[in-house]
A and B are shown apart, each in its own frame.
Chain A
Amino acid sequence: MLSCADFLAEFSDYLEDAADPDLRARLEEHLHECKTCQVIVDSTKKTIRIVTDSDSFSVPADHVESIVKDVMARIRDKKR
């Protein structure tokens, strides 16, 4: 049986669905028994979902066009 520390060591691959089937089975066995790790898995998955879906670092569309315009102007300026 894996310890919580073992579980956390392999946690990264578990989250990304990259653990091989054998390891995955052992991780799930631990998870089944361990309330703490269940909470950590659940809340970390939700964290990733919230971070991924948030537009915390997005650029407004008109911003993009003005960046495009300025970059191209500077490039053409240099080429001249």
Chain B
Amino acid sequence: MSYLREAELAADFAPFVSFREHFGFVPGLFRAQALLPRAIEAEAGIAAVVLLKQEALSRVQKEYILLKVAAAHHNTYCVTAHHHMLCSLGVPESQLNQIIIDYRRADISAADVALLEFAIKLGKHAPWISREDIVTLRNHGFTDESVLEAVLVTGLTNFLCTLSVGLGPAPDFEPQKVYCGETSQQLNYQGLRHGESSGSYLRAVEYSAASFPPFAFFQEQFGFVPNIFRAQTLRPDVLEAEAGVIRAVLLTEDLLSRVQKECILLVISAANLNTYCVAVHCEMLRALGVSVEDSDQIAMDHHQTDLSEADKALLDFALKLASRPAEFRLEDVNLLRCQGFSEEQIMEGVLMTALTSFLNTLQMGLGTTPDFTPKRVFTPKDLYPFHAQSRPISDAAPSEDPDAALVARVQNGEIDVFEELVRRHSRRVFAVLIGIVGNMDDVRDATQDVFLRAFEHIGSFQGRSKFSTWLISIAINSGTDFLRQRKPSEPLGEVSDEEEGFRPRQIQSWADNPEQLCAASQRSHLVREGVLRLPQKYRVAVLLRDISQLSTEEAAAALRLSVPALKARLLRGRLMLRESLTPYFIRTEKRNPDAQLR
């Protein structure tokens, strides 16, 4: 059973025969595409050359990549399938479990550890890949041929993961627990791509379009041979198979139109911060009669264009599938059905999304320079949390999250472990709620509700932010909902420029040790009164930063604000508090004779 209508294909359908021969079964993922046999054929072609053909990397190394990158995506379907394949390749289950739990400590070579590190980074955090990562692989003895294969297998994994989320087939075997508990490696901002790379990372061979059929095909279809394909000439057979996928998925026009498909490529590439693919597909849309300005607007925000409602829904669908796979559901498929899309068209939408993910991953791994001057170059600023809501990659370099291991266990069904998370965070959630709601009543129940909501949705938490930041976002939403039920209030996330212009009025000097001027209980009363009197948006900023001790970046992410906007509100809140506390803490002879001695 999958989301879309299924069909029966003849028992001798060639790709299925080949799957049975190589895998021992026909994966449900391919059965789910029986409405589009041409797509299955093209995918089988890619799988044959990238996965099954023994060239530079061994089949086991490739399966490790598939397993670990799928686990990093929390993709139960693919993890289950490749766990099974590794077992049938003779890898002992104990070693497999060790790799799943912590590959760095598993009984595999240092080179294989480096290979998996590279693949996970490329699969999940592609914009951080740089030439340095390729050098690291070479230092471990990998040839350019092996690196190309690693990039291809990672691209294939992202392709298959996207397909399985979009089509929703049931796992072929007893589902494996998806555990990816290793904390992400600290990523170096210096390695961040700026959209202009110095050229392909790998050695390539020159072919002319006249004598090399895949290039002749690209030349004829696109009017040029894109650099992303020129960078893969070490594997002519792969280029042949890729041309086959493009022919079967992108160039057919009987279901979705070519413009619709190019728009999917464009929107997801932009969300993936892929300067190269955005430039190429803007150019292709131009050739199809869409102006560069219109394409650029589609890439930035397709809702602000005059595309039809159906096309906007199609792009929403693709974007959700690519960016927020954990939230993707049958309802998303039904939304397209309501817009009048046929089963086959929806399937093509899924296929195009998967193809984009494949091409984006390849490009980031190969480092090719754009074929055209990009109208828009994605830079590190595009990674700021404010813009990152819909981006598939993390909005900041992933950092160690002290809760990651506990969260992974809860996600794997160990309900009792959640207790420790509640214990760790209830004070913070409580404080945030008081800050928003503005009084102590009702907050106890509201705190419980926040944790229940978090538990309900923990499956969709993917570690793009810290667990604590995610939890606080939930608390902020719950608190705001609660307030809204009582009285209309301004939304916390609203951007406003009135942060400017607040000038301090009180300029009397404070005592050297103001804390000595009143008892702790009185101070805490003064602070509580002062904070609760602040306008809501400043109150929350002060609460998150100064009372809950979040970093500026975490507080901004929790409030879905840009860092500068958060800083402005925080400063305003602090200055207002300063005004209200000043009368109690100024330096006077009467209050603090000690201060005069200095």
Contacts and interface: CB of A to CB of B under 8 A. Distances in A.
A17 to B, nearest CB: 11
Interface in B530-570: 531, 542-543, 546-547, 549, 552, 567-568, 570
B552 A40 contact: no
A35 B141 CA distance: 64
A42 B265 CA distance: 54
A54 B524 contact: yes
Nearest to B440: A57
The list of the 4 closest CB pairs from A to B, nearest first, reads A56-B528, A57-B431, A54-B527, A54-B524
Contacts of A72: 416, 418-419, 422
A3 interface: no
A1 interface: no
The DSSP consensus for interface residues of chain B is helix
Contacts of B574: 15, 44, 47-48, 51
B527 A56 contact: yes
Interface in A18-41: 36, 39-40
A48 B524 CA distance: 13
Contacts of A42: 509-510
A46 B585 contact: yes
Interface stretch (B227-235, B344-352, B448-456, B488-496): B448-456
Interface in B508-535: 508-510, 514-515, 520, 523-525, 527-528, 531
A53 B528 CA distance: 12
Given A50-B514, A50-B581, A11 B423 contact: no
Interface residues of B, number: 51
Q: Chain A interface residue count: which class?
A: 35 or more
A46 B527 CA distance: 12
A64 B447 CA distance: 10
Interface of A: 8, 11-13, 15-16, 36, 39-40, 42-44, 46-48, 50-59, 63-65, 67-68, 70-72, 74-76, 79
A68 to B, nearest CB: 5
A40 B577 CA distance: 12
30 contacts: A8-B503, A11-B571, A12-B568, A12-B570, A36-B507, A39-B507, A40-B507, A40-B578, A43-B506, A44-B578, A47-B581, A51-B531, A51-B546, A51-B577, A54-B527, A56-B531, A56-B547, A57-B430, A59-B427, A64-B426, A64-B427, A67-B430, A67-B447, A67-B448, A68-B422, A71-B448, A75-B415, A75-B418, A75-B452, A79-B415
